[in-house]
Structure 1
Amino acid sequence: MEERDAVVVAGYRLPKYSVLMSVYEKELPENLNQSLESMLKQTYPPSDFVLVCDGKLTNALDVIVKSFQNEYKDIFRIVRIDENVGAGKAVNKGIKACRYEYIVRMDSDDVSLRGRCLKEMLMFAMDKKLDIVGSYVEEFDDLTDKTLTLKKVPLMHDEIMNYSRRRNPFNRQTVAFRKSKALEIGGYSDLKLCEDYDFAVRMLAGGAKGQNIPEVLVRYRVSESTPEIRRSWRLTKGFVAVRWKLFTEGYIGLRDFFPPCFLQLILFILPMRFTRWFYRKFLRDTKITPPTAEVLGREQK
């Protein structure tokens, strides 16, 4: 399939789109390679790919980047930043560089299933009022590739609005959005952590219409350090900071501010085994239904 060919699915003409990814020196080359490949070999491939290098990369990472640039020279573009500025600022530079109205975000260590972008662009084609789209995400073990859990999110706009007062209503690894709407609300903030949650809320507060696809479209890599990161003081401070920002801006009230912050503090204080148990028991689905499993198998072939 040629990138520039018009693609019609179920009577809808799919819009062209840009992929936006940022990477920094601590990423593993093999993870970056797999992530880039998963996006560039979509069943409906991108017409534009912007990779933001947030600071100087290692030689191994640069080799990966240059190899993809040579192979996909017509669409693959690199935006380099001399010093590491953080995810929010790096992504903002990338948003401005993207050529198309629809932007698909991608992390540099996750894996998109081959039909992800086709399905997300089909959503935009079917509903011209949509501004932000996401999906379910599958968490998998970095060492064994074994599926661990399924993270679901609310599907329709009203549910998404309600959920956003307590948690991010989108799996950040799966998000696609309108460039014009993102620029209208000022892009991502300078928050060091939870900038994706803040971005989603500001999009919704700014009038954006959102929807999630009830299907796994991205595989999220989980390593041995993931539970420790989830309960770390750094993440706890970042989570409380974004909650406080939403409270002072009037998006949430005290009833929405305190319970999530209290829970995050409990996760920080209690032993690691509790954090593991809690995420699997209350925030994740450990059972992937047969239809989802079937989709996963089909997409990864």
Structure 2
Amino acid sequence: MSEPFTLLLPVWAGDRPDFLAAAFRSSVDDQHRRPDEVVIVRDGPVGSVLAAALDELAASSPVPVRIVALERNGGLGPALDAGLAAAGHDIVARMDADDVSEPHRFAVQLPIVEAGADLVGSGLIEFADDAAVEVGRRIPPTSPEEIRARSRFADPFNHPTVVLRRSLVQQVGGYGDFALMEDYLLWARMIMAGARVANVAEPLVRYRIGAGAYARRGGLGQLRAELRLQRRFHAMGFTTPAQALRNVVVRGGYRLVPESLRRLAYRRVVAVHRPRATP
């Protein structure tokens, strides 16, 4: 049986109006199965041009749009929690304000959630300026067993692609305020709570990578967030002492190597999941 669902789209002052319009249209107007409502979270004040774009999208949308206006920019996790609280449906699909959904995205993902999954992601295609020109892709693990195994060492979901059950997300505490790693921490809590998880290998979202994408994956700020995350994983029993140590060395080291090496490692190890060979 088909269930209604909410599209959750956070926006902040740094987003471009033209990118936002493309993200919205691709995820609403152009979808074979449209969301039943859209919740846009305005994470703090925005400029007049972006505000006008939000008003225009809401006015011209073929489905109802609710704009949740937060007084200050509090970060992605709190913004998403505010959007989840405002959503009118239990099934919620994520979308970022500068990406592009494939037209059949929700027609593929929603039946999997309706069949019993609590969290479903997909592959994604990376692009720079032109969404039609692929510069890379991220293919996640697909079976529940592989997802759970990979989650101890790396994020098994592409966050901009996920569709989830709000009830379970809120049951485990929501996204919270854990900057840079809020999604990975949430997946871990959901998996520990027994979430039924799945991924579609097919890329269903086109993900915009801007200048400095690889630089932003490194540096002291990312290292501090990584170490905080690994401490939290160990404290909650998500990783063993050996796994935690391995993650600090490997994932922490990844944050500190030169950008050229980080780019190479990302392309060969992080972006494309290679399923284990069957015996």
Give the distance between the partners of 1:133 and 1:205, measured in 2 at CA: 16
Give the distance between the partners of 1:235 and 1:28, measured in 2 at CA: 25
> Partner of 1:270 in structure 2?
257
TM-score by length of 2: 0.93
Could you tell me which runs of 5 or more consecutive residues in structure 2 were left unpaired when the two chains were aligned.
Answer: 274-279
> Partner of 1:76 in structure 2?
65
Deviation at residue 145 of structure 1 after TM alignment: 5.1
| Contact 1:143–1:223 (CA under 8 A) maintained in structure 2 | no
Structure 1 window deviating more from structure 2 (40-49 vs 275-284): it is 275-284
Is 2:227 the counterpart of 1:240? yes
Deviation at residue 16 of structure 1 after TM alignment: 1.3
Please list, as runs of the form range in 1=range in 2, the aligned pairs for 1:203-218 lying within 5 A after superposition.
203-218=190-205
> Partner of 1:293 in structure 2?
none
Report percent identity of matched pairs: 27
**Count of matched residue pairs:** 272
TM-score by length of 1: 0.86
Please list, as runs of the form range in 1=range in 2, the aligned pairs for 1:143-292 lying within 5 A after superposition.
146-285=133-272
Is 2:52 the counterpart of 1:34? no
| Contact 2:12–2:73 (CA under 8 A) maintained in structure 1 | yes
Give the distance between the partners of 2:69 and 2:251, measured in 1 at CA: 35
Deviation at residue 224 of structure 1 after TM alignment: 1.8
Give the distance between the partners of 1:265 and 1:91, measured in 2 at CA: 27
Deviations 1:191-232 (A, max 9, x none): 011100011111111111100112110111111210100112
Is 2:111 the counterpart of 1:111? no
Deviation at residue 144 of structure 1 after TM alignment: 7.7
> Partner of 2:74 in structure 1?
85
Give the distance between the partners of 1:205 and 1:150, measured in 2 at CA: 28
Candidates 27, 36, 41, aligned match of 1:47: 36
Counterpart code for 2:152:
R
Structure 1 vs Structure 2 CA RMSD: 1.7
Structure 1 window deviating more from structure 2 (210-219 vs 276-285): it is 276-285
Could you tell me which runs of 5 or more consecutive residues in structure 1 were left unpaired when the two chains were aligned.
Answer: 1-12, 287-301
Deviation at residue 264 of structure 1 after TM alignment: 3.2
Is 2:113 the counterpart of 1:124? yes
| Contact 1:189–1:198 (CA under 8 A) maintained in structure 2 | no
Deviation at residue 73 of structure 1 after TM alignment: 7.2
Give the distance between the partners of 2:6 and 2:75, measured in 1 at CA: 21
Secondary structure of the structure 1 residue equivalent to 2:152? coil
Deviations 1:47-95 (A, max 9, x none): 1100000100111211110001111275111000001111111111110
Secondary structure of the structure 1 residue equivalent to 2:68? strand
Deviations 1:159-179 (A, max 9, x none): 111111111111101111111
Q: 1:231 to 1:285 in 2, by over 3 A?
A: same
Give the distance between the partners of 1:194 and 1:110, measured in 2 at CA: 19
Deviations 1:206-263 (A, max 9, x none): 1111001121101111112101001122122112211211111111112221223222
Give the distance between the partners of 1:284 and 1:242, measured in 2 at CA: 20
